[in-house]
Every structure is written in structure tokens, then in C-alpha cells.
Amino acid sequence: MLNLAQLKILQELITLCVFAPFVLYVMKIPTRDGSVLDET
């Protein structure tokens, strides 16, 4: 069995893996020609 600390770390890793592509997609919005708009 995983202890509570390991379970919390695992949950955070899963959350990161789920939300990272979404955050990257929002930050780098693809344009029609395939390039990305840089908000900086």
C-alpha cells in the first residue's frame, strides 16, 4: 500500500500530466498557418 505522502505526490503528478498540455495549448495558441502566437 502507498502511504499518504506517496499518494499525494502521485495525485499531483497525475494532475500535472493532465493539465500541462492544456496550459501549454492556452499559452501557445496555434494559428491557421501552423505557427504559434507568442504572448511575450
Tens-place pLDDT, residues 10-37: 999 999 988 888 887 877 766 556 555 5
Counted domains in the chain: 1
pLDDT, position 25: 80
Sequence-ordered list of residues with C-beta below 8 angstroms from that of 31, at least 6 positions apart, any chain: 37
pLDDT, position 37: 57
Would you say residue 4 has pLDDT above 90?
Answer: yes
The length of the chain is 40
Grid cell digits, residue 7: 499518494
pLDDT, position 14: 94
Residue ranges making up the domain that contains 23: 4-37
pLDDT, position 9: 95
Element (H, E) at 5: helix 4-27
What is the distance of C-alpha 25 from the center of its chain?
9
Q: Is the pTM of this model over 0.85?
A: no
pLDDT, position 21: 84
